Amino acid sequence: MGERIKYQDFAKVDLRVGKVIEAERLPNSRKLIRLIVDLGGEKRQILAGLAKWYKPEDFIGKYVIVVANLEPKKMAGTVSEGMILAAPCSDEEKPALLTVSEPVEPGSKVC
């Protein structure tokens, strides 16, 4: 297990349910898939380093867990506006997407 943090630190993380509405391989990257995720009131572009295990079409329609309050980050010349969660975090094992068991409203807060 990692270092323990205070509840106040965890409370800063904004986890939301997002519905993937578009997905494509990022042309200038072997690892990245570009996702457009509906977070309710807005759509976000999120880059996921999962191209080794997933095809873009595997994401369409999935309700994923998104870290919604990360600062935008430029990767492979494209800006990512969040992060989707998957486990395990390993280069050897195929990660499973963290999803919800039934559809909920995009943008719903995870608590």
What CATH number does the domain containing 64 carry? 2.40.50.140
Cis amide linkage into residue 95, ω under 30° from 0 = no
List the domain range (segments joined by +) for residue 14: 7-97
Q: Is residue 107 part of a domain?
A: no
Residue 81: its pLDDT value, please?
Answer: 98
The number of distinct structural domains making up the chain is 1
Under 8 Å between Cβ of 56 and 33: yes
pTM of the model: 0.92
Residue 42 within any structural domain of the chain: yes
DSSP 8-state class, residue 34: E
% of the chain residues with pLDDT over 70: 100
* pLDDT for position 2: 86
Asked whether residue 104 is domain-assigned, the answer is no
Q: How much is the pLDDT for 90?
A: 75
Q: Is the pLDDT of residue 108 over 80?
A: yes
